Structure 1
Amino acid sequence: MPAAQPRLIAPSQTCDSHIHIYDPTKPVAPTATGPGPAWANVAAYISAVQCPLGLNRAVVVQPTTYGFDNSCTVEAIAALGLDKTRGVAIVGPDVSDAELQRLTDAGIRGARFQMLPGGPLPWDALEPVASIIAGFGWCIQLQLDGRLLAEREALLKRLPCRLIIDHVGKFLEPVPVEHSGFRTILHLIDGGRTWLKLAGAYETSKAGAPLYPDVGALAKAAIAAAPERMIWASNWPHVSVQDPPDDAALLDLLLDWAPDEAVRQRILVENPAELYGFSPSSWPPPWRTRLR
């Protein structure tokens, strides 16, 4: 069956800011919850998502499956093309400057913290890692139950690098826009160095497809507050659910969430270009700290 076509025509240089690539030849980390789908390789992503949706750029996010072995992610960046692909790795507080430089040269632009089952790093590693990666211009990519964000707000405001909050906050139970966790997202965005990823609505929505209105209400409020701090992603290959969503429909969500074409241009092209360094003028971030 041919892949579905989206109604939204993706502008040139649209970036899918969160995908995972798997390789069954790589060892599974002891902290992982499972091996991941063996079929979810670069060729499958190109044929299932990138070409049908008309996407140009991608960010490969290290699966927790492989823990600190970032080789699958680095190889995927190279296969997709370093000129149009970036990555997010998992590194610990003991990572060396030499390794960070190697990963930077390979296209890595962030460090992942997955604070749900399978993540290999605890909360007390967040500040040390953030301090180390800041000198390389990397961001922290954080995924957690958004209902806990308020209690972490002070910590997140202290980070010396940029911050990406995954999946519209990933509130494991629906919350209104008045919820303290969502207000924390808005507070962090107001600080100028936090981005929100518009992805994964299907993972937490209780209202369901096609518009996921419970999650959509949060997305719309965040977009209205700070369109310059929003990025979009497919979250392919949707390993957290047994019935995966249609990727074209996930792109089309922006027709509802961000009906203004200029705002969609920012979300799909300009914001990720700045955040991940696709544009020469945006890399390295001018505020980055000195290397250790």
Structure 2
Amino acid sequence: MLFTYIITASYAIVSAFPSKYTRRGGSCDKADSRTPDNSWDSHLHVLNPIDYPIEEGSEYTPGVYTVWDNAIFEKRLGPEHVVLIQPSIYGTNNTLLLESLRAYGPDRARGVVVFDIEDISMAKLNQWHVWGVRGVRINFLSTGQTPPADELERTLSKYSNMVRSLGWVVQLYISMDGIQLIEDFLPTLGVQIVFDHIGVPDIPKQNSTKSYNPSDIAGFDSMVRLLQQNVAWVKISGPYRISNVQGPIYHELDPLILELFRAAPSRLVYASDWPHTRFEGLDIRPWTSHLLELTEGQESVRESLFRDNAIVLWQAEDK
């Protein structure tokens, strides 16, 4: 109850006194007025290595980013609803995520966890579902390379079988060229697949940042076909993780994003990737405003990207 009070109070305080609050990455000025009401931020992390120690051997140690910090950030950015994603540094210990999720409450938030398929029970998953968990994340990029197709299929089958009855998604952090390895297999799983960070494409390096054809990127057409078959979704997020150019706008990604807007507008969700781990201090608001500019004159695309698709994907009407 105390956490819930803190979250509710923080939104009220920041609204009343916006000029008093600053945070790494910018001042607490108003959100872009073009952001649709009741928007969703579909990918962020809550981190606290002081009170919730990270796994031994983790590749990085983040700063402290609490639910209070996120409430301030979201007020500056615009979304009123959030999806908490389990970060790799906590492994399968979802304690901080679950406590934060309960603090937000089911009207405001959803969560995606990580668990060991050999050490989990349906009773636990059912309890997490009540608290707002709607997916499991599988990180295939932590090893630095995509596993062989047969290994991918075995892993995905196990997790899909575990969460299918709950209606959860299977969220994949995988390179785009790996998607083509499992394109034919994914529709057989009977679950919805979510690709992190625009599918993690290998953007061509070139002098002209707008001349490439997205279909020339390995795996892009496979991903689009899965979107159009209503098998998969893509998070429009993390541009700094895939772009070859310095932000804050990342124009280099426009051809790819615009093609996704054209090909599968009902299968995309916006996400901030806050607090931008390994890129801490970055301000995502200019790029978010750029996305709003890219949807100028396409109100349905804008509302789908920032709100309507997330409501469907995260079962937001299912309390």
- Specify if TM > 0.5: yes
Find the residue that maps to 1:112 and give its secondary structure.
Answer: strand
Which string of whole-angstrom CA distances, capped at 9 and with x for unpartnered residues, describes residues 171-220 of structure 1?
Answer: 24447411231111101101113111100111111133243222221111
- In the superposition, relative to structure 1, how do residues 31 and 132 fare at CA in structure 2: closer, same or farther (>3 Å)? farther
Gaps of 5+ in 1: 284-292
Aligned partners of 2:213, 2:65: CA distance in 1, in Å?
A: 35
Counterpart of 2:304 in structure 1 is: 266
Gaps of 5+ in 2: 1-21, 205-211
How big is the alpha-carbon RMSD for the aligned residues of Structure 1 and Structure 2?
A: 2.2
Say whether residues 1:72 and 2:91 are aligned partners: no
Letter in 2 for 1:22: L
Say whether residues 1:251 and 2:288 are aligned partners: yes
Aligned partners of 2:279, 2:159: CA distance in 1, in Å?
A: 30
Say whether residues 1:194 and 2:220 are aligned partners: no
Letter in 2 for 1:264: R
Computing the radius of gyration over CA atoms, which structure comes out larger, 1 or 2?
A: 2
Aligned partners of 1:222, 1:173: CA distance in 2, in Å?
A: 15
Find the residue that maps to 1:154 and give its secondary structure.
Answer: coil
Whether the 8 Å CA contact 1:234–1:250 is kept in 2: the answer is no
Q: Identity of counterpart residues, as a percentage?
A: 26
Whether the 8 Å CA contact 1:92–1:129 is kept in 2: the answer is no
Quick one: which of 7, 12, 15 aligns to 2:40? 15
Q: Where in structure 2 are the equivalents of 1:120-199 lying within 5 Å?
A: 123=152, 124-174=154-204, 176-178=213-215, 179-199=217-237
Say whether residues 1:57 and 2:81 are aligned partners: yes
Aligned partners of 2:196, 2:261: CA distance in 1, in Å?
A: 14
- In the superposition, relative to structure 1, how do residues 146 and 4 fare at CA in structure 2: closer, same or farther (>3 Å)? farther
Find the residue that maps to 1:195 and give its secondary structure.
Answer: strand
Quick one: which of 103, 106, 110 aligns to 1:82? 106
Whether the 8 Å CA contact 1:9–1:54 is kept in 2: the answer is no
Letter in 1 for 2:238: G
Quick one: which of 237, 257, 265 aligns to 1:219? 257
Whether the 8 Å CA contact 1:65–1:118 is kept in 2: the answer is no
Which string of whole-angstrom CA distances, capped at 9 and with x for unpartnered residues, describes residues 248-269 of structure 1?
Answer: 2132122233221221111111
Q: Post-superposition shift, 1:4?
A: 4.6
Aligned partners of 1:208, 1:219: CA distance in 2, in Å?
A: 17
Letter in 2 for 1:185: M
User: TM-score, normalised on structure 2?
Assistant: 0.80
Which string of whole-angstrom CA distances, capped at 9 and with x for unpartnered residues, describes residues 14-71 of structure 1?
Answer: 000000001222232346323332x211111111x21112321000000111111111
Q: Post-superposition shift, 1:236?
A: 0.2
Counterpart of 1:91 in structure 2 is: 115
- In the superposition, relative to structure 1, how do residues 252 and 8 fare at CA in structure 2: closer, same or farther (>3 Å)? farther
Counterpart of 1:287 in structure 2 is: none
Letter in 1 for 2:201: F
Aligned partners of 2:31, 2:288: CA distance in 1, in Å?
A: 7
Which string of whole-angstrom CA distances, capped at 9 and with x for unpartnered residues, describes residues 87-110 of structure 1?
Answer: 000022222111110111111000
Find the residue that maps to 1:163 and give its secondary structure.
Answer: strand
Letter in 2 for 1:217: P
Aligned partners of 2:222, 2:61: CA distance in 1, in Å?
A: 34
Find the residue that maps to 1:135 and give its secondary structure.
Answer: helix
Find the residue that maps to 1:32 and give its secondary structure.
Answer: coil
Counterpart of 2:277 in structure 1 is: 239
Q: Post-superposition shift, 1:222?
A: 0.8
Whether the 8 Å CA contact 1:6–1:251 is kept in 2: the answer is no
